[in-house]
Amino acid sequence: MRLFKIALLLLTSNLTFAQSSVDIDRWDNWLLLGNKVVFGGKNDIIHSHELQWRVNNNMRELKEWFYEGVFTYTPNKYWEIVPDFRATIKPDRNDFRFGLGLVRKDLLSQNEGQPTGQLVQQLKYQMDIDSHGDVRHGVRFVATYSRIISEKFIISGLFGPFYRWSKSFNGIEFVRGGPVFTYVFDPAHTLAIAPLFGAANLGKDGWAYSFTPFIQFIIRINDDYKYVPAKYINF
């Protein structure tokens, strides 16, 4: 909560600064649509595959679409080691992202002996290589808390900054956070809707802000997990 309050204070101060400049559009509305399929569960390894589309410019312009593959190794109930790969097609170039994440998960509340709350902390390094040969690096830390409200409904909240270093930029590139509402149709089919908000660092021009709703449909081929998997969004 202390980190969240400090981040809100920084964003508020930057918004005040941003309002003094009229030559840069300080607000944009995005839309993220994803279809994800998850395999595995009877052993320590889970793998998922997702196609996602993203539009910006007040939801009128295709920003990118990509394929993402994620492999999750779960040595025990507290930790996950998560390498991933993302291939992105953009209007002006293609990007290839190689990532390696470490995830800590803790069950914080129970009801009649069954877990109802989960705190997930994700620390992830990524390397982005584009079709022009440019290489960028980044590290993110995202905290997500999820609570089971009923058999069909889960509410979550997430917040996290992303730090970038490259030839042209070093610093916190963006911050993203907000609630997530998940509806469980059955053990195999889940729909997550996340009205997220973001702040992007424009360098000397200050910050810009966005409303970034994320809709993701998840199909689980097998839900017989050895350990309870971490629930988080890999944005």
Does residue 209 register a pLDDT over 60? yes
- Residues 91/97/103/109 CA torsion (nearest 10 deg): 10
The total number of structural domains in the chain stands at 1
Residue 170: give the domain boundaries: 2-220
Mean pLDDT (the chain) is 89
Q: For residue 83, tell me if it sits in a domain.
A: yes
Determine, yes or no, domain membership for 122: yes
Q: Domain for residue 20, yes or no? A: yes
Q: What per-residue string of b and e applies to 9-42 under the rule 16 or more CB within 10 Å gives b?
A: eebeebbeebeeeeeeebebebbbebebebebbe
Q: What is the pLDDT of residue 5?
A: 45
14 SS3 class? helix
Q: What are phi and psi of 112, to 5 degrees?
A: 55, 40
Non-local (6+) Cβ contacts of 144 within 8 A are 119, 120, 121, 122, 156, 157, 158, 180, 231, 232, 233
Q: Which amino acid, 222?
A: N
Kindly state whether residue 230 falls inside one of the protein's structural domains.
no
What's the pLDDT tens digit per position in 61-77? 999 999 999 999 999 99
Q: Supply the DSSP symbol for 231.
A: -
* pTM of the predicted structure, to 2 decimals: 0.86
232 vs 142: CA distance, rounded Å: 9
Q: Is residue 229 part of a domain?
A: no
Rounded CA-CA distance 73/17 in Å is: 44
* Dist. CA 145–CA 88, nearest whole Å: 28
> How does residue 7 score in pLDDT terms, banded at 50, 70 and 90?
very low
Residue 9 confidence (pLDDT) above 60: no
- 22 pLDDT above the threshold of 80: no
200-206: long-range pairs with CB below 8 Å, 24+: 200/173, 200/174, 201/169, 201/171, 201/172, 201/173, 201/174, 202/24, 203/169, 203/171, 205/21, 205/24, 206/14, 206/17, 206/18, 206/21, 206/24
More confident residue, 136 or 17: 136
227 within domain boundaries: no
> Is the model's pLDDT at 1 over the cut of 60?
no
**pLDDT over 70 percentage in the chain:** 88
Q: Tell me which residue of 175, 180, 145 sits closest to 160, measured CA to CA.
A: 175
Q: What pLDDT, on the 0 to 100 scale, is given for residue 228?
A: 86
User: Does residue 4 or residue 203 have the better pLDDT?
Assistant: 203
pLDDT-based confidence at 10, cuts 50/70/90? very low
Instruction: State the pLDDT at residue 17.
Output: 42
Say if 233 falls within a structural domain: no
pLDDT confidence of 23, banded at 50, 70, 90?
low
Q: What is the pLDDT of residue 21?
A: 44
For 2-6, 46-50, 54-58, 138-142, which range has the lowest pLDDT when averaged over its residues? Answer: 2-6
CATH number for position 208: 2.40.160.40
For 129-181, write each residue's pLDDT tens digit.
999 989 999 999 999 999 999 999 999 999 999 999 999 899 999 999 999 99
Q: State the average pLDDT over residues 218-229.
A: 87
